[in-house]
Chain A
């Protein structure tokens, strides 16, 4: 494959990754809003999609370079970026199928790290960076959010216990829409920039851009739109897990969860500490269950999701290393083609299987688990009819 063709493929795969990032992370901003019926499912994802696109244009300081501080930047070649992106997409699609909210950023870091190990060996990986920027924050993010949200939910419950159901229910829903909008905006700014960084790096590695060049406008537009389209498609399987699976969310819990997520994510952005948005959002929702009057949380599901977080990095790394191995085994042309074909086949099979137990806007709020004991919502969760 000629360098320019490989570059085009890397850009295409990066845009595909951005798209999967969008639908995979929709749940982080909208799951509580959808679960408590503050907004109809389609309206919620449409609003989130628009704000993700706006977020991508808000900041032009694209400082994010792929896996910065995780691998030796000088050793990155286009084939490593390509393999890393494919590994990340494999993991994103797999976790989406099982409805598991996992970090797209960690999947990308894992994919690139695996490909880098296959390309240049373990010495090219900055293991301290893996521990400091991925492992420890991935434990701290949900733990912080869980603790804060449990306290916030309990406090809100006490403060509003004598308030009218109408005031509580409606106000909390309005508050949720505001915090959901803020989260979507933050997500567009953070995550679209990561893909912009990947494409910019590929352009620099290919010699198309000079090392000091700014990100081209078309990259910003394409990344923003891909993220927005992915969000608009709506990762309903993950929205269902987050909104219905962990606990039965009342408007008070939903509001506390979304405010906590916004507070932790924005504060971590302010201090430059990389915390996973997915980990924070999931931790907040579990925390809202812990802080509720009945303290009902499906801990088995939460444990399963936590296990998936632990294996995100090695699983994506294995995929990335495997795809890079193909390019080493079959030559760059053969490896790239086989990698793309395998990815397309895998996505087609997963999509076909997902149609058997389809989850979309019409059934995203159905009761979780037919044979499980129903979780009753708190008293203020009177249903509000919304148009789907």
Chain B
């Protein structure tokens, strides 16, 4: 079985998809947290700027990951 199964390839898939999945979910969740903070009426201006910056960074990260996905789909 060890000769016919590409264990190394499977390991790479596990490692990269674990990293990618966790990073996207983390970025998006931080974006949600930032959005929630920015929307709070009691938030101070500095908090609000920080929250919107966080949201923008999270958005940029997600756009980058989605672009990576599209590149893989198209390059197949």
Contacts and interface: CB of A to CB of B under 8 A. Distances in A.
Given A129-B4, A163-B36, A263-B20, A156 B72 contact: no
Interface string A60-71: 010000000000
What is the predominant secondary structure among interface residues of chain B facing chain A?
helix
A175 B69 CA distance: 15
A178 B33 CA distance: 19
B6 A61 contact: no
A215 B41 CA distance: 59
Interface string A234-268: 00000000000000000000011001101110111
A129 B69 CA distance: 28
Contacts of B24: 259, 263
Contacts of B21: 148-149, 152, 259-260, 263-264
Interface in B56-76: 62, 66, 68-70, 72-76
Nearest to A153: B25
A268 B30 CA distance: 27
B5 interface: yes
A172 interface: yes
- The A contact surface, by secondary structure, is helix
Contact of B13 (A132, A175, A273): A273
A273 B28 contact: no
A12 interface: no
B18 interface: yes
A160 B32 contact: yes
- Name the residue in A58, A264, A267 with the highest tally of chain B Cβ atoms < 10 Å from its Cβ: A267
Contacts of A148: 17-18, 21-22
Nearest to A149: B21
A160 B28 CA distance: 10
Contacts of A259: 21, 24-25, 28
Contacts of A131: 1, 4-5
Given A189-B73, A271-B13, A273-B10, A255 B25 contact: yes
Contacts of B13: 144, 264, 267-268, 271, 273, 275
Contacts, number: 139
Contact of B32 (A163, A182, A267, A268): A163
Given A140-B10, A273-B9, A59 B25 contact: no
B49 interface: no
Interface in A136-177: 136-137, 140, 144, 147-149, 151-152, 155-156, 159-160, 162-164, 166-168, 171-172, 175
B29 A156 contact: yes
A288 to B, nearest CB: 11
A55 interface: yes
A272 B17 CA distance: 13
In which size bucket is the chain A interface?
Answer: 35 or more
A190 B76 CA distance: 9
Nearest to A267: B17
Contacts of A171: 28, 31-32, 35
Contacts of A262: 69
B10 A137 contact: yes
B62 to A, nearest CB: 8
B39 A164 contact: yes
A167 B39 contact: yes
Interface string B32-54: 11011101100000000000000
Among all A-B residue pairs, the 7 with the closest Cβ atoms: A163-B36, A128-B4, A132-B4, A263-B21, A159-B29, A167-B36, A267-B17
Interface of A: 55, 58-59, 61, 128-129, 131-132, 136-137, 140, 144, 147-149, 151-152, 155-156, 159-160, 162-164, 166-168, 171-172, 175, 178, 182, 185-186, 189-190, 255-256, 259-260, 262-264, 266-273, 275
7 contacts: A156-B29, A162-B33, A164-B39, A171-B31, A189-B76, A264-B13, A271-B16
Interface of B: 1, 3-6, 9-10, 12-14, 16-18, 20-22, 24-26, 28-33, 35-37, 39-40, 62, 66, 68-70, 72-76
Given A132-B4, A259-B21, A271-B9, 8 more contacts: A58-B74, A61-B76, A131-B4, A152-B22, A155-B25, A178-B66, A264-B13, A266-B72
